[in-house]
Amino acid sequence: MWLLDPLPPALRSAVTAILPGSGEVAIIGIDGLGGAGKSSLAASLQGQLVRAGWAADIVPMDAFFMDRPGDSAGAGLTPEDQQGSGPRSTAPIGGSFDWMRLRDQVLWPFRQRRKVRYRVHDWATHEPGDWVALGQGVQVLIVEGVYSTRRELRRWYDLTVWLEVPAHVRLARGLERDGPESRHLWENRWMPEEERYRKAYEPHLRAHIVLDW
């Protein structure tokens, strides 16, 4: 993992500014293309918040992945799309991630200070997996992952962060994590699909904080 500890000063100031008062909550979204280091930054941020006395938790966008045609927001993906071998210019942007379920199972109930339970994607079986519940008393929720700050979800966040990392660095990190056999998926599915998101939704232009690292 590529940890950022201590946090960049601009991010530290922005987080400090949105920390909730008594009985309130805050939601931070960390977005960026694959291999940008979103999970690592989220872990660093959570660790620093906890050390400072805040109850903080992380929800990964990967929990809301769907790889079966016809599943909710993933409707319209062909079998070739699912295997990373087909053209994706007509597929829904971010259609493999169920942003509506993230909104309904996590963002809305957390904002309403209700119990949060969400079902994670099982990457081994490619089926819906276990239900996960946030701990009691969480004050700061960090949602991390590509597509996490797409325009349909932006209103739920108190702070949005975009990580800007060169493509060759992201690819190297991805192959280190997933193995060299994943290169085809990275180069022919994930990276082109995520670049479509960047161009169409411009999350890097709409984020409160952009980190170039």
For the stretch 135-167, pLDDT in tens is 889 999 999 999 999 999 999 999 999 999 998
Residue 22 domain-assigned? yes
* pLDDT bracket for residue 58 (50, 70, 90): very high
Sequence-distant (6+) residues with CB within 8 A of 43 are 1, 3, 58
Residue 4 domain-assigned? no
CATH number of the CATH domain containing 72: 3.40.50.300
pLDDT in tens, 17-50: 999 998 899 999 999 998 899 999 999 999 999 9
Q: Is residue 15 exposed (0-12), middle (13-18) or buried (19+ Cβ within 10 Å)? A: buried
Cβ pair 92, 74 in contact under 8 A:
yes
Q: How many domains does the chain have?
A: 1
Q: What angle do helix axes 191-201 and 167-178 make, rounded to 10 degrees?
A: 140
Residue 182 domain-assigned? yes
Q: Which amino acid is at 19?
A: L
Say what the pTM is.
0.85
Residue 67 has pLDDT above 80, yes or no: no
Residue 2 domain-assigned? no
Range of the domain at 87: 9-212
Residue 3 domain-assigned? no
Residue 107 domain-assigned? yes
